[in-house]
Structure formats: structure tokens, C-alpha cells
Structure 1
């Protein structure tokens, strides 16, 4: 990548930094990792969160969210079966964004906030797709 003529040398040096690929994967899944640990440590609140968004049976949804957040994050961080970990996190994010950010039923400020959150989550799903693509290409190379 450093040989690309459109990338300034200082930027190329940062992009070529040995630990950047690992640090970026950790950062990408950090919210899932922290969320999974928090839900695991306070399972009643995790159940209440799922029930709040109408996901029933709430205990099953909470357990599934914890498993996906923790296992998916570890797979992405470890750079193993990234397609599986990122895919599971992407599906979880899609379910969450549809359940929690239903801007099409809102108006005013609430709609504004939900619309922004919806597309932020869509961007996160795109990041998970991109990390899967990059991981696949680096493993093939």
C-alpha cells in the first residue's frame, strides 16, 4: 500500500504501521465487546433492554446478544473467521437498528436522532463488511 502515489508519505507510514490493522479491528468491535461484558455482568438489565425494544423472549435475545457480541468480537480481533464474527455482529446490528431506530414512525427531534443513529449503525455494518473483505484478501495474499 505504501507504493500508491496518491498517498502522502507520512500517511503511508501510519497506514503501514505494524499494529494499525490490529488496533483498527479492536476499535471497530470495542462497543460490542464492552456491551457484551456489561450485559453478561448485569443480565437482568440486558433482559430489560431487549424487552424495552419489543424483542421477546427477552432472556433469549439477551443471551444471544451477549454470545454474538463477545464471540464475534473475539473472532474479529483474532483475525480468524472474521467473516463469521463480523457477519454475526452485522446481523445483530441490523436487528438492533430496526428495533431501536424506527425513525419512520417518529417526527421532530426524535426522528432526527433516530435517523442519525440508524445511518451510523449502517456505517458500522459497512465497516464490518470492509474488515471481512480486507481480512479475506490478506489471508489469500
Structure 2
């Protein structure tokens, strides 16, 4: 059965590992790569793509080139989308609103004090997501 898979993608190594994992493990599934412009530094806005600053839209276009390149290797089509907001909250809300079956995301692998100080988007998504979450770690 084809699933609807959400892959939060920011161009980092962990997000690239997650995209590769989704393409390998879920061939034929409808995969969406979501770039979240962190609204914490963008002023008052919530989720509306029309309000995403040009530099963030340009960054999303750049990272989606990597998405297209990876998809081509696997002869797959990956849909891309951009949203603005708190990353974890936006990922969870998007998965729910778009009826995703699963979220596949990377983990930066922080532990101890670093994780306590910076928080973990992946950890929050795992706690709050309405669907199963797979964390893909780089080796």
C-alpha cells in the first residue's frame, strides 16, 4: 500500500539521510519534502507561504534542488512545500492537515547539555505527531 510520507527537509546531512531513507524504504509512496522557515526570527507570521521572506524562499529553492537530485536517483517524484512557523509545531500540524501516514526525519544526535540547551525538534515531533515518526540517523 502506498503511503503519504512527510520528510522535513532543510538541506542538512540529517535531513538528507531521512530523505534517502524514505526513498529507499518507501518506493512508490507519495513523499513530500517540507521546508519550514523558522518564524522565530521572522517577525509576526503564522504558516502563510505568502508571508515568507524572499531570502527564506530562495533558501527553500536551493535545498529543493537536492531533493530533486535525490529523487531522480531513485526514479521517484517528491512533492515540495514551504511553510513558516515553529519547526516542530509546523511539521506536526502539516502532517495532520495533509493526512500524512508517516513522518521520516533526521536527528542531529545531540545529547546531554547540548540537547537541554537547544531543545530537539525531532523529540517534540515524536511526542506530538498524530502519526508514526521514523528517525533516520546518519552513520
TM-score, normalised by the number of residues in structure 1: 0.28
Q: Point out the structure with max Rg over C-alpha.
A: 1
| Greater RCO structure (CA 8 Å; 6+ sep) | 2
Point out the structure with the larger helix share: 1
